[in-house]
Structures are given as structure tokens and as C-alpha cells.
Amino acid sequence: MIHPSHGGGKVSQVTSAPARTKRPTMVDVAALAGVSVKTVSRVVNNAPYVQPEVAQRVLAAVAELGFRRNHLASSLRSGQATATIGLLIEEIANPFYATIAGAVAEVASEHDTMLLIASSEENPAREQQLLRDLCARQVDGLLVVPAGEDHAFLRSEVERGTPAVFLDRPAGGLPADTVLIDNRGGAHAGVRQLVERGHRRVGILLDSTAIYTMRERLAGAQDALAAAGLADDRLIRYGIRDPETAARVVGDLLDEPDPPTAFFALNNRISLGAVEELHRRGSDAALLGFDDFDLSRLLPYPFTVVAYDTRTLARTAAELLFRRIKGDRSAPRDLLIPTELVNRGLPRH
């Protein structure tokens, strides 16, 4: 470190922090203002029928004591909404989930609601625990990107008034609102384009078929290939978790006799590895990837992505949730977000 001192800091207090003083309550405010607790409550909640001068006294006391209403106590007694919703995702740091969280936060903010976020880390047991914790905190509703396959344990919570909307993957064992990407249709459209451009051998690279989106995308790709009489299971490679593996698998396929002339990467981690390997080799194979990502247009190899609007996915789900929270009791809905094909990457040099 060249310069351990920094400019904007203030001088640290040498003394330690003062002992905690108790938070003032409505009782304290009432005593100071010389009114009843109920009157304080009225003023704090902007209820009508309070004489202006009384209200003034109360507000003065509120300011003097630094009173702030205890939102927990308030919603406990009123039984009303806590103005908090829960969002369960896999991992906040992941850009896909970060985008979802951002869009959900926006909608929540429009409804004066706060957002409690939890990460399942793709662990169904943890998912269940976290959803229960969120319910225990009396959230007004739940937005869930499922990790597990079974959400029956949520049934009683939903019946007791905590609506849940699932996004990106379907819920299991629970009739509930669901908002999904058109995985199958997008994969179909992309692969059909490859076929129309004359490709006859398409390498397919995916993670595990235990993952819902992988199954759907694979099915869409296979439909499109089968329609052209080009299905060939020997060109499918499973279990690709990271870009490094993807790069290696692309290399392996290219080194075989009669190699693919095109590749379909079923998620963006895989696309990334494929881009690197194809660029490294100066290949001229076509590349199709599912999921767009940041900076994709600046990568050193041309490719096509099946893109969709993650924010629309999240906003749609969040808006549906708030409709439920406001009392919409109609039958659960299944919504599908469309995809489109977009060209990315820099031209070959």
C-alpha cells in the first residue's frame, strides 16, 4: 500500500460509544406532550380528528425524543401487512439473480414495501428452512426461484394468507403462480436458425438434466433437430459446470473426425468457455448460446444468443405477487416470457 492514509475520513473518537439509552415509546411521547397514548398514535398515523394544536404538541415531543414508531409492534397488533416481502434466490452475487433482485426491489418500492432477500445456494433443505424463516417474520408474500422440487410444505402458509409466486422454475407439488422464460421455444428458434443456415452437425453442451432449464432447452433443441432429421445423441455433452470444462469439451469435439460445424451452449457459463476455445483455435464454427450477459458484444468471437429480459421476468412476478397481496384470489396463473435471437461478439479477425 502506497498511501495508507486517506482523505475523506473523520477523526476517530477516542472515547468509546455511550451506553445504550432505551428507545422512546408512545408512552414517553404521550407523557411529554400531556396527552394519551391513543392521541399519539393518531398523530403518528395521520389519523383525522385531532386538534391541530394538540397535534403540534405531540409532534414536538416526537421530535424532541427522537421517537420512531416500532413497526413490528404496530403490525403485530393491527394484524395488518408488515410491508415486507421475501425473495428467495440462489445467490445474490450472481448477475442473473442480482438483476432479478433489482427489478423486484423496484416494484416493492413502488408499493412502499421492503425486501428480505435470502440465498438458497441451490440447496433444497436450506430453501425450505429459509422460506419458513421468511414466513415466521410475517412477510406479506414470497417470491421464489425454486431450488428444490417439492414445495408442498408451503401449502399451509399460502392458505393462511402468504401468497407465493414462483419464477424462472416451476413450483413442485403446489398450485401457485409461476412466471417462466420460454426456454423450449427459444432453444427451438435458435437451433432452427442454425439448421436453416446449413449446419448438419450441432454439438450441444449442457449442465445436468437435473436442472429444469437444461431439460427444457435441450428438449427445444432436440425438437428442432429432429424436425430436420438431424438428431444425433453422440453430439450431446452433459455435466458442464464451468467455462474451463466447456472449453475443453469444445476442443474434444473439434478434434474428433467429422466434428460439429456449430455448437449450442445451454447457458452463459458454457458460452463463455466455448467463445474462448473457438477464438483460441481461430475456428469458424457457429456458436449459439442461451442467456445473454454483460459485455457479450465485446467478446472476441461472433455468436448468437437466445436473449430474454430478466427484468421483465422479475417485474411480472413481483406485480403478480402484489396483486395477490391486495386480495386477488383468482386461479393460479402460468406466464411465459418470450425470447429473441441476438447477434453478439466481435467479428473474426
Partner DNA sequence: TTGAAAGCGCTAACAC
Partner DNA sequence: GTGTTAGCGCTTTCAA
Q: Does 347 bind a copy of itself (CB under 8 A)?
A: no
Q: Does 216 bind a copy of itself (CB under 8 A)?
A: yes
Q: Is 56 in the site for DNA (CB under 7 A)?
A: no
One residue of 3, 6, 22, 160 binding DNA per CB under 7 A: 22
Name the minimum Å distance from CB 67 to a copy of itself.
Answer: 10
Distance CA 121, CA 93 (A): 11
Query: Over the Cα atoms of the chain, what is R_g?
Result: 27
Give the largest Cα separation in the chain, rounded.
91
Residue 35 makes contact with DNA by CB under 7 A: yes
Please tell me the distance from the alpha carbon of residue 248 to that of residue 205, in angstroms, as a whole number.
11
Which residue in the set 56, 63, 64, 80 belongs to the binding site for DNA (CB under 7 A)?
80
By C-beta, is 10 or 234 nearer to a copy of itself?
10
Residue type, 273: G
- What's the min distance (Å) between Cβ of 56 and DNA? 10
Q: CB-based contacts of 300: which residues, under 8 Å, 6+ apart?
A: 275, 279, 345, 346, 349
Positive or negative, the CA dihedral 89, 95, 98, 99 is negative
Does 64 sit near a copy of itself (CB under 8 A)? no
Of DNA, a copy of itself, none, which one sits near residue 184, judging by CB under 5 to 8 A according to partner kind? a copy of itself
Nearer residue to a copy of itself within complex by CB, 198 or 282: 282
Binding to a copy of itself (CB under 8 A) within 181-200 occurs at 182-186, 188-189, 192
Contact 259, 244 (CB under 8 A): no
Q: Which is nearer to DNA, 55 or 266 (CB)?
A: 55
For residue 143, give the DSSP letter: E
Q: How far is the CB of 79 from DNA (least distance, A)?
A: 6
Interacting span for a copy of itself (CB under 8 A) from 45-53, 115-123, 231-239, 257-265? 115-123
**Tally of CB atoms within 10 A around 72:** 11
**Residue 277 interacts with a copy of itself (CB under 8 A): yes or no:** no
Dist. CA 221–CA 252, nearest whole Å: 21
Q: Measured on CA atoms in the order 113, 114, 120, 121, is the torsion positive or negative?
A: positive
* 295 C-beta neighbours (distance < 10 Å), count: 7
Binding positions for DNA, rule: CB under 7 A = 22-23, 25-27, 35-39, 41-42, 44-45, 49-51, 54-55, 69-70, 73-74, 76-80
